[in-house]
Structure 1
């Protein structure tokens, strides 16, 4: 019975190590997939002419201006068609990128805030300005607390004065966090356009697991920080070395070795096993 108990403990130890590393493992593979999206997006942007990129940004900014002036009504079919046309020129899949160095987050931005968009990265809230700079208020949302990916889980760690970047059609814009608040889901006045201001607000559900409120982290357009120009690693989402594999592998090998030592019959001094 002691042998069986030791084996059970060894197996449970290996399984526990695997469970503890589940989130790190799944998040690492998610980061690998995001890096693939980043590389594909970079290739697509590099393959477009400067004139094409300028035209895409001009169309998106014209949409923002008409949205702010009331000439685009999001609830109408015409408003939806105008939105679809504008974002289609920003990208066939992802329409931009958001990077938050303070929490080591770099994610693609997709149109709308559907589950399909939010589970892959960041969704653009339909009805807000497109994240292309200029007067307006873009709203970008993502999930928190998912077991398979961090996404905006650590958004609550961002502080006033931190900065983040938003890129679209080859242009990178920088925003400095100037306001952080928790509001009820229906408090849309917190993300309204302010005349003369260029805002981007990052949104996620809070508290994690309850999701009754919304955490809003607003950034105002600013100059590129010196560290952003010196180090562009915050933009590239490629994951680092998978230390979770070393931990889990070590635990598995250790458990297997302990089980082997326990189950192997003792040997005589002459090297032969005793009779069974």
Structure 2
């Protein structure tokens, strides 16, 4: 009987360790993929500028970075929202967006731990400055609103005529609603 209890205890501990290690492994793996992607973009950008932007490197000049100083965020925005891209970082919600024109929309997961993705997005205060950086051009927006919305409230993504703004979206902690920040382009 004692051997059964000891064996059951050891098996329970091993199962617990495995269950705890799975998300940690996934986070480590995602971090490595993000690191490789960032290094590749930086390498291509450096080579591209050194070779006066050959066509094979032309897309590197269009990489968009999002900087939110209040939460120490500086991340690349991938050009398309897919599950794979969302697992790597921030993504453009609408295709073919141009910074400084219309409503530039960005989505990101909250992430498990640390400051990757949009984990700290709800902590961005109204009045904060947010920068979109493309090459040597910076577009600065001021955050005007922060609200919790339903996933079906897609009207927040629409362009408003004569308004240049940014919309940043992530999930609430329980994943049932969305946190949406909107900012206006400063001129």
TM-score, normalised by the number of residues in structure 2 = 0.70
Counterpart Cα distance in 2 of 1:128 and 1:215: 23
Kindly tell me: are residues 17 and 116 of structure 1, through their superposed partners in 2, closer, same or farther at Cα, counting changes over 3 Å? closer
Structure with a larger share of its residues in helix: 1
Q: In the TM superposition, what whole-angstrom CA distance separates every residue of 1:78-107 from its partner, at most 9, and x where no partner exists?
A: xxxxxxxxxx94439x83233446556554
Asked if 1:218 is matched to 2:185, the reply is no
Query: What is the 5 A alignment of 1:58-137?
Result: 89-91=58-60, 95-100=63-68, 105-126=73-94, 129-131=97-99, 134-137=100-103
- What residue ranges of structure 1 are gaps of 5+ in the alignment? 54-87, 223-276
Correspondence for 2:43? 43
Alpha-carbon contact 1:128-1:137 (below 8 Å) kept: no
Q: Which has the higher strand share?
A: 2
Distance 1:125 1:52 in 2: 30
- 1:34 corresponds in structure 2 to 34
Let me know the Cα RMSD of the aligned residues: 3.8
Contact persistence 2:142–2:185 (CA under 8 A) = yes
Bigger Rg, structure 1 or 2: 1
Contact 1:125–1:139 at 8 Å: present in 2 too?
yes
Query: More displaced, 95-104 or 23-32?
Result: 95-104
Unmatched runs of 5 consecutive residues or more in structure 2: none
Deviations 1:155-213 (A, max 9, x none): 33433344444332354555443321233434425653463x65322112446333xx4
Select the structure with the greater relative contact order (CA < 8 A; seq sep ≥ 6).
1
How many residues are paired up? 181
The two structures have a TM-score, normalised by structure 1, of 0.51
The reply on whether 1:152 has 2:118 as its aligned counterpart is yes
